[in-house]
Amino acid sequence: MAGLMRREGFEMLEPFRRLLEGDVETSWPRVEEYREGDTLVVRAELPGIDPEKDVELTVADDMLHLRAERRERTEHKDKSSYRSEFRYGSFTRAIPLPKGCKDEDIAAAYRDGVLEVRVPVAEPPDRSASRKIPVSRG
């Protein structure tokens, strides 16, 4: 009985072990965004998914909406044991788009477990140039 209690106590600590090792569902996926010249680049780590089935990208109200879902199953079998794990998770992320970008210019590609979205950004008008406005006598 004491061995059973110790094992159950250990299994209760499993989520804490995974947290310390950085293997928790809330950290999935990692997303980064940066500017590369006149392009906004958004990259998301999405290993082990089918981008055609599990990823949805939409643009609405000057926001890029990214939704992804992961379904993963692993099994381990040997003579004396069987272990099966299922991991399901989904996430959504809304990323503000720069002013002046056009929806039809946005491109996305999935390669080696990374989704990359490229958004061309229009150059903002030059606000440093000033223009003198004449004042007339009325």
Q: For 74-125, how does the pLDDT look when each residue is reduced to its tens digit (9 = 90+)?
A: 777 888 888 877 667 788 889 999 887 888 889 999 999 999 999 998 766 5
**pLDDT for residue 10 is more than 50:** no
pTM (2 d.p.):
0.61
- Which fold is adopted by the domain 28-120? Immunoglobulin-like (2.60.40)
How far is it, in rounded angstroms, from Cα 14 to Cα 10?
7
Q: Between these two residues, 103 and 26, which has the higher pLDDT value?
A: 103
Per-residue pLDDT band at 64 (split at 50, 70, 90): very high
Rounded to an integer, what distance in angstroms lies between the CA atom of residue 37 and that of residue 74? 42
Strand bridging mode 39-45 / 114-120 = antiparallel
